[in-house]
Amino acid sequence: MLVARGLRRLEVAARRALHGFVFPRSAASGMALPGTAARFHDYDAAVTSCIERRALREGRQVHARMIKARYRPPVYLATRLVIMYIGCDALEDARNVLDGMPERSVVSWTAMISGYSQTRRRVEALELFIQMLRTGCKPNEFTLATVLTSCCGPEGIHQVKQVHSLAVKTNFESHMFVGSSLLDMYAKSENIQEAHRVFDMLPERDVVSCTAIIYGYARQGLDQEALDLFRKLYSEGMQCNYVTFTALVTALSGLASLDCGKQVHGLILRKELPFFVVLQNSLIDMYSKCGKLLYSRRVFDNMPEKSVISWNAMLMGYARHGLGNEVIRLFKDLREEVKPDSVTLLAVLSGCSHGGLVDEGLDIFDIILKEQSAFLNPGHYGCVIDLLGRSGRLEKALNLIENMPFLPTPAIWGSLLGACRVHANVHVGELVAQKLLDMEPENAGNYVILSNIYAAAGMWKDVFKVRKLMLEKTLSKEPAQSWIILDKVIHTFHSSERFHPSKKDIDAKIKEIYVDIKASGFVPDLSCVLHDVDEEQKERMLLGHSEKLAITFGLMNTPPGFIIRVIKNLRICVDCHNFAKFVSKVYRREISLRDKNRFHLLRDGGCTCGHYW
């Protein structure tokens, strides 16, 4: 029985994955309606049949027949009606039946709460749950597991804690379904310690709880921890299904570890799982974030069925790598297969921006404005402002911000400020910076860019003013770090790294490189240093940047001709970008640099970003 249920769940999941959550409905009516003299068993059989076939129209007829015959269904049968309506996505009808019930069972309440939960109507789910408690009905393990999935709004953590305490009182805390849901919700509200504590308390570790905790780490960006935990649980014999692998692959996208990614992909292939769109989508994304677009494309091309997300993941991959023409080509193919959504449009605009296809991007934006403007959100405008900024049309960008149907977000102003830096426009830059500093006075990055703009214009007095402002506010930015993966070992570097075991060798090598590239024309960009120190010290500080250390380490530890893949957690600094360009030329090495936003592929002194990022 249990096994059969498990298999059905799997099948349901597979169908959902394949058909994008749309269940096939029964086509023709094949059921005789209960007659006027019908009794409980006749109605029960009819409603059950409708539940199984998700036959809404017939269900309504049965319900109407009951009313017409003045038949008052007992709690059980009325509950079945609620379940029937929910299964047919007719939530309002279900609610009407529930509200009309003189008595309700735990099952009736829970079914309705579950209906709201599954359709993301969280507020209604929680309100109904509270109403249920007020009437004195005691929740059971089904209710708690269900209602928890609705505790993920902004107030989520408080709600989770309340339901948690209720679970403790009712002794369901360690119930597998309740516990899994609980740990997942803690993880979703960024409370991974508590999530792990709940996980450790569960009587056993099943696929769902293991997957939820691994996903929890991956979602927080604790990718290394997610991978380590998977390794541990896997060696302890944990069961895996396609959701587990989806979680794992997501963690690997964050780590950008191509070797681990390939290894896990191999493991997945050996498991001979049936086809799941979701898992394949995560593989497309993983390979593109590891810098292997060819593999992404191979996964993409081999999919027997694609969802719009598959296309979007592939588009984003091309966009991240600055391959604008590929984005536009794939977008054309996409429109013949699926309906674009707002993420598709974002990917296309972002692809045009990263690929330097300014006019093409603006044309596409015009078409979108005419045909699908309902899809547009501030993000799309952000991409277009970036596009205008790239081509130096800063006034136009400013104009668009003022006339768009949204309030500008800090990110949008930030994008324009970056453009002002690239095009050395102090006038617009000051204007934009003023808005931005008002909105996020604590964001150190904005001060840095403004001071870069002043520095590029030689306005040293103003540079000093901005620095002073920063010092007064004692702002600190997220510490920069870069990493490189060699032989499946992750080597992480921080600025002015002091603890790496190869520190001495790296220092020696970086000085050697410095001499070589300077001889080829490299000039350090001192405006990248914001500390008020003398020039010699500035040069020394620049050499300590984490991406330079990682590149140097890669150059030392890989054979000639080997591509150096470095990942950075923030945007790459101008001086380091220049450094990498010269290294690629002088040492004849390709360098793939993934920063927070995109890939830079440096080859023979040039970069795929076109020097705008």
Partner DNA sequence: AACAATGCTA
Residues 26-85 that bind DNA (CB under 7 A): 83
Crossing angle of helices 75-87/91-100, nearest 10°?
A: 170
Instruction: Report in angstroms how near the CB of residue 132 gets to DNA at its nearest.
Output: 11
Nearer to DNA, 31 or 207 (CB): 207
Of positions 159, 189, 244, 481, contacts DNA by CB under 7 A: 244
Which of 53, 95, 175, 321 is the binder for DNA (CB under 7 A)? Answer: 175
Q: What CA–CA distance (Å, rounded) separates 570 from 479?
A: 9
Residue 396 engages DNA in binding (rule: CB under 7 A): no
Distance CA 504, CA 508 (A): 6
3-state SS string over 105-165?
Answer: CHHHHHHHHHHHHHCCCHHHHHHHHHHHHHCCCCCCHHHHHHHHCCCCCCCHHHHHHHHHH
Among 42, 275, 378, 492, binds DNA (CB under 7 A): 378
- Angle of helix 426-439 versus helix 410-422 axis, rounded to 10: 150
Site string for DNA, 118-137 (x = CB under 7 A): x-------------------
**Per CB under 7 A, which of residues 472..511 are in contact with DNA?**
none
Residue of 159, 191, 246, 452 interacting with DNA (CB under 7 A): 246
SS3 category, 504: helix
| Cα 344 to Cα 120, 307, 557, distances in angstroms | 23, 12, 40
Does residue 592 belong to the site contacting DNA (CB under 7 A)?
no
Tell the smallest beta-carbon distance from residue 406 to DNA (Å). 10
Query: What is residue 607's three-state secondary structure?
Result: strand
Q: Give the residue among 202, 211, 261 at the shortest CA–CA distance from 234.
A: 211
The yes or no reply on residue 608 touching DNA (CB under 7 A) is no
In three-state secondary structure terms, 33 is: coil
Which positions from 501 through 560 interact with DNA, judged by CB under 7 A? none
Minimum gap (Å) between residue 525 Cβ and DNA: 19
Using the rule CB under 7 A, which residue among 207, 222, 469, 574 binds DNA? 207
What mask of x and - would describe binding to DNA in positions 399 to 438, judged by CB under 7 A?
Answer: ----------x-xx-xx--x--------------------
Q: Which member of 38, 104, 132, 181 binds DNA (CB under 7 A)?
A: 181
Among residues 159, 191, 344, 527, which is the contact residue for DNA, using CB under 7 A?
A: 344
In DSSP terms, 485 is beta-bridged to 490
| Calpha distance 159→147 (Å, rounded) | 10
Q: Which is nearer to DNA, 93 or 184 (CB)?
A: 184
Site for DNA in 301-340 (CB under 7 A): 307-310, 312-313, 316, 319-320
Cα–Cα dist 251/256, whole Å: 9
Residue 114, classified by CB atoms within 10 Å of its CB into exposed (0-12), middle (13-18) or buried (19+), is buried
The amino acid present at 309, given as its one-letter code, is I
Q: How far apart are CA 249 and CA 285, in angstroms?
A: 9
Supply the minimum distance, in Å, between the C-beta of residue 111 and DNA.
4
Question: Cβ of residue 480: shortest distance to DNA, in angstroms?
Answer: 17
Site for DNA in 348-367 (CB under 7 A): 350, 353-354
Please list every residue from 442 through 461 that binds DNA, using CB under 7 A. Answer: none
- Which string of x and - marks every residue 1-20 that binds DNA (by CB under 7 A)? --------x---x--xx---
**Total residues at interface with DNA (CB under 7 A):** 80
CA end-to-end distance (rounded Å), the chain:
58
HSE value, Cβ hemisphere, 13 Å, CA-based, for 551: 30
Q: How far is the CB of 558 from DNA (least distance, A)?
A: 27
Among 379, 445, 544, 605, contact with DNA (rule: CB under 7 A): 379
